[in-house]
Structure formats: C-alpha cells, structure tokens
Amino acid sequence: MTLDLIKKLREETKAGILECKKALSDANNDYDQALEILKNSFLSHDGNKRVASKGLCNVYIEGNEAILYEINAETDFVAKNPSFIDLVQKLAKPMIESDATNPVDAKKIKIQGVTIDEMIKQTSSIIKENAYLRRFYRVLKDDSYGFGSYIHLGGKVVTLVILTKDLKDLARDLAMQVAANAPSYLDTKYIDIDTMNYERFMYEKDHQSFDENLFHKHLEEISLTSQDFIKNPGQKVYELLEYHDVEIVDFFRFELGQGIDSKLSCRLDIPCDGSKITVTPVY
C-alpha cells in the first residue's frame, strides 16, 4: 500500500484516509478494485432519517435555456462544506446540456460514467448527511427574450425572470425584486377564479374578517407588477416596465426548503392544510 495510491483515491472520491486505506487493504492494493469498493460503500450509505430541508439552490443559464434546482441535506453546515458546494456547482452544466425536465430524469444523467444520483450519494457519505435532488426545473425562452437571474446568500434563494426584451440590467433588478419580496403572482389580472377563492378564504381565515378593499390591496402586495420597485419605492414595477416598453413573461423563485415542514414533506402545489391551489408557476 503506497501513499500515492491513498492520495489518488482521496482526490477521486473525497473519502477519508482510513476509508481509503481499508479499501486498498481489502482490494490487495488493486486501485480499480479499491475504487469500486468505495463507490459501493457510498451508494449503500443511507444517511440518517432527519428531514433534509437545508442545502443549496442554484440557477444556471446557457443561451435560451435556464435551469433551477435544489439539493437538500440535513443541516445548515453543508452550505459551507466544500464537497457539497462543489457538487451543486458541478451539476449545472451537465444538467442544462441534457434533455432532463424533472428531478427523476436529472438524477439519471451521467458525468464521466457516474450518474448524478450516485454522485449525490457519494457526497452524502462524505458529509455524513442524507442528501438528495429535490427539485429541478427547466425554462426555455424565445431568441428575442431576455433572462435575468439572482442568487441570494450563496443559494438560499435563487430567482429567474423572463422579459420580452433582452434588457440584462433590468432583468437582474427584477430577479432581485422577486428574491426580496417573494411575490406569489405575476399580476392580479392573471389570477384564476379558483386561486382567487382560495386567497379569499385564507385572507378571511388569517384576519378573522373580510374587507374587499383591504383584500385587493393584499393581492397587489403579493403580485409582482403592482409591488413597489425595491430600488425606487416611489415607483411601481408596472410603471418601470412601461418606461422600458417591456413585459415580464414569467418568473420563478426557489427558496431553500420551500414546502418542507419539520415533520411533513408537503407537495409544492398543495399547502400543508391539504387545500388545493392553482397558481402562476413559482417553483
């Protein structure tokens, strides 16, 4: 057993020295066999059973395509773990260059012969926490449209905005707006009747009364175009759009742990109280 072999195994797998030494010993110093032993060990690692609601989100743009995804783990510490951060960043380009449109397909993508699912399990073993790809979403735009994205606190919140013109500075400002103000809807005029009824129900439930004017003010506060622009509170977002003669096609917002409760993983399209809701896609 040589130090060079141990070093090579550590560089390739990020496993500890003792794990590498044991794998080489079990493989009679056969590097390929030792590598296979470690990979099998990574794949069999189950982590513990705590709810994995921490981790990082990411948004990545290439040409007319963008992807947003979230990889969860169990504690806040992983957001500063080099192996976990490297994993989140490493997956972006292969995923956007694939034809995957959902987490199930994304986990099957191979990078140098190893699936993303296997890579996540390997990292899970390294960080000693359960980790998994919870969300993956792909967005396509027309050639004349423009993307704007924003990553807040390294990946606690990531956002994407699509404009009818390629105005990069404006698109980024609006992506920051979405990150800061967390709008639920693009515009009040696009809210369908079922969602409007749900919002009425929740408003009355939260306030123990119902006032039509205050309710509509509430809707405006959670709709992007009628919010105050964060860089100029005296200006509404729709006024900013009119000034630039541009429209927002859609927006997307991933917030770390969104939809996860400490005791229950809720589906993202069904609130934890079990009521159904249909909304403008904010994932």
pLDDT at residue 42 in the model: 55
Cα–Cα dist 10/43, whole Å: 17
Report phi then psi at 14, rounded to 5.
Answer: 65, 15
Eight-state DSSP code of residue 154: T
The pLDDT value recorded for residue 146 is 98
pLDDT of residue 156: 96
| Separation between Cα atoms, residue 29 and residue 6, nearest integer Å | 10
CATH architecture of 3-44: Orthogonal Bundle (1.10)
**Does the domain spanning 51-140 belong to CATH 3.40.50.300?**
no
Find all residues with CB under 8 Å of 127, minimum gap 6, and list them: 73, 78, 81, 83, 84
Spatial separation of the C-alpha atoms in residues 262 and 277, rounded to whole Å: 22
- DSSP per-residue letters across 155-202: TTEEEEEEESS--HHHHHHHHHHHHHH--SBS-GGG--HHHHHHHHHH
Q: Do domains 3-44 and 51-140 have the same CATH topology?
A: no
H or E segment at 270?
A: none
User: Tokens 């030792």 sit at which residue?
Assistant: 34
Residue spans of the chain under pLDDT 50: 43, 46-48, 262-283
The domains of the chain are located at 3-44, 51-140
Residue with tokens 């192996």: 83
Which among 56, 79, 84 is positioned nearest to 68, based on CA atoms? 56
Q: What is the distance between the alpha carbons of residues 165 and 244, in angstroms, rounded to a whole number?
A: 9
Instruction: Describe the strand order of the beta sheet including 65-73 as a list of residue ranges.
Output: 54-62, 65-73, 132-140
Neighbour-count burial of 154, counting CB atoms closer than 10 A to its CB (0-12 exposed, 13-18 middle, 19+ buried): middle
> Which pLDDT tens digit goes with each residue over 204-252?
999 999 999 999 999 999 999 999 999 999 999 999 999 999 999 999 9
The closest alpha carbon to 90, from 104, 71, 63, belongs to 71
**HSE-up (13 A, CA, CB side) for residue 246:** 23
Res 203: pLDDT: 94
